[in-house]
């Protein structure tokens, strides 16, 4: 039996498609939704009570960060260093916002995927050409599907047949390019 379910959280929609009995699927969806809600409560920059908002307001000192927040801050610092500052969660209006670490990307068929919208063909091609330059410099090349006003970017490390840390670093650089 196939069970499909959508959950709206964090400004996006999470879609589940499970091949299991209705009871098992419902339990799995409830558990996944509970985990996503916990992540939203902790890391949303839009919730007044989240850890991220408390960091932004200066209410939490680094030495008092709970382990999950300390881990996210550590990963953000690592990606900032690995992307030569292209990704910097501290350089956004309002202060710390780690959501750019994963925002807007999905995993489809073992690939990290994101669709970027543009106003016209010129903007699309400017993005594609700049991304080509960055990709060449990184020696890590995404698959691109280019349309008049959109570009779908797909990262996967072919050598291992799946996702590697480099895919996520290049995705962060891709996001930073789009924000320019």
Q: H-helix or E-strand containing 154?
A: strand 150-155
pLDDT (0 to 100) of residue 10: 74
How far apart, in Å, are the Cα atoms of 109 and each of 43, 64, 113, 170? 27, 39, 9, 18
| Predicted TM-score of the model (pTM) | 0.60
Distance, C-alpha 99 to centroid of its chain? 7
Cβ 1 vs Cβ 20: under 8 Å: yes
pLDDT (0 to 100) of residue 12: 73
Using 70 as the pLDDT threshold, list the residues of the chain that sit under it.
Answer: 102-103
Whole-number Å distance between alpha carbons of 150 and 93: 26
Contacts 24+ apart (CB under 8 A), 25-28: 25/1
Q: Which residue has the tokens 């919730």?
A: 47
pLDDT (0 to 100) of residue 102: 65
How far apart, in Å, are the Cα atoms of 10 and each of 36, 40, 99? 9, 6, 10
Whole-number Å distance between alpha carbons of 97 and 83: 17
């Amino acid at each position: 039996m196939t069970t499909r379910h959508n959950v709206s959280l964090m400004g996006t929609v999470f879609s589940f498609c499970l091949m299991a009995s209705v009871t098992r699927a419902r339990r799995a969806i409830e558990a996944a939704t509970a985990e996503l809600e916990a992540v939203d409560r902790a890391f949303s920059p839009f919730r007044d009570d989240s850890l991220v908002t408390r960091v932004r307001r200066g209410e939490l000192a680094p030495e008092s960060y709970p382990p999950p927040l300390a881990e996210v801050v550590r990963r953000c610092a690592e990606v900032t260093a690995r992307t030569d500052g292209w990704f910097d969660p501290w350089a956004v209006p309002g202060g710390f916002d780690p959501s750019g670490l994963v925002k807007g990307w999905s995993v489809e068929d073992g690939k990290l995927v994101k669709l970027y919208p543009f106003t016209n063909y010129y903007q699309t091609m400017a993005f594609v050409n700049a991304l080509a330059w960055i990709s060449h410099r990184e020696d890590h090349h995404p698959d691109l599907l280019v349309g008049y006003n959109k570009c779908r970017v797909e990262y996967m490390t072919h050598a291992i047949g799946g996702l590697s840390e480099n895919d996520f670093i290049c995705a962060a650089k891709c996001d930073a390019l789009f924000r320019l």
